[in-house]
Amino acid sequence: MADTAASTDSGGEDVERRDFLVLAAGAMGVVGAASFIWPVVQSMNPSAEVLALSTVEVNLEPIEVGQAITIMWQGKPVFIRHRTADEIAKAADVQIADLRDPEGDADRAEKPEWLVMVGLCTHLGCIPLGQKSTDPQGEFGGWFCPCHGSHYDTAGRIRKGPAPRNLPVPPYAFIDDTKILIG
């Protein structure tokens, strides 16, 4: 009889030990899963570098008529061109129905003399030439992508080549007459 009482007592300890081991293993599993999931979720958040560049303020005062500058916004080049009256007239004279990606010049430029666009070709992401006066500007006087030969006009609209869309216009607003906020 003494053996049965001892085996019942040790059976109770086994149950308690098993319950503890199940709880400990479950807790370790939860901690392990959380330690795996946390970095995955964090990697989807924008980096501090991108957050810092979410908006960029640009002073337009030093940009002469006919001159263009390139700034970086969210890791992408943004072209800002102070267009001449001739460039504005060329952009306005285009028949919108003839364009591959129909968009009027007035829809692309908040103020006609200032054109702001992301400087990445919509074909494969190359940076088009045309920012410097010595660069080839393509058949339409705007930008030329050297990678596959896309030609953009003075409003950044695709006119010839494999690019499917116009150069994108980032969100921007004029703070005053000489400053814009991109982003």
Indicate the SS3 state at residue 120: coil
SS in 3 state form for 3-18?
HHHHHHHHHHHHHHHH
- Lowest mean pLDDT of 31-45, 109-123, 157-171, name the range: 31-45
Res 36: pLDDT? 87
Measured CA to CA, the distance from residue 81 to residue 65 in angstroms comes to 8
Res 66: pLDDT? 87
pTM for the model stands at 0.69
Indicate the SS3 state at residue 104: coil
Which of 106, 122, 111, 116 shows the shortest CA–CA distance to 79? 116
Measured CA to CA, the distance from residue 7 to residue 60 in angstroms comes to 89
Domain 50-182 CATH superfamily: Rieske [2Fe-2S] iron-sulphur domain (2.102.10.10)
Instruction: Give catalytic status of residue 148 as yes or no.
Output: yes
Expressed in angstroms, the distance from the first to the final Cα of the chain is 84
Domain borders along the chain are 1-45, 50-182
Describe the strand order of the beta sheet including 68-73 as a list of residue ranges. 68-73, 76-82, 114-118
Measured CA to CA, the distance from residue 68 to residue 130 in angstroms comes to 9
User: What's the pLDDT tens digit per position in 110-159?
Assistant: 899 999 999 999 988 888 988 888 888 888 888 999 998 899 998 889 99
- One-letter amino acid identity for 155? A
Give me the helices (H) in 81-167, please.
Answer: 85-92, 105-108
User: What's the pLDDT tens digit per position in 52-85?
Assistant: 667 888 889 998 998 999 999 888 999 999 999 9
Q: Span 150-175, mean pLDDT?
A: 91
Measured CA to CA, the distance from residue 85 to residue 62 in angstroms comes to 18
Measured CA to CA, the distance from residue 71 to residue 62 in angstroms comes to 14
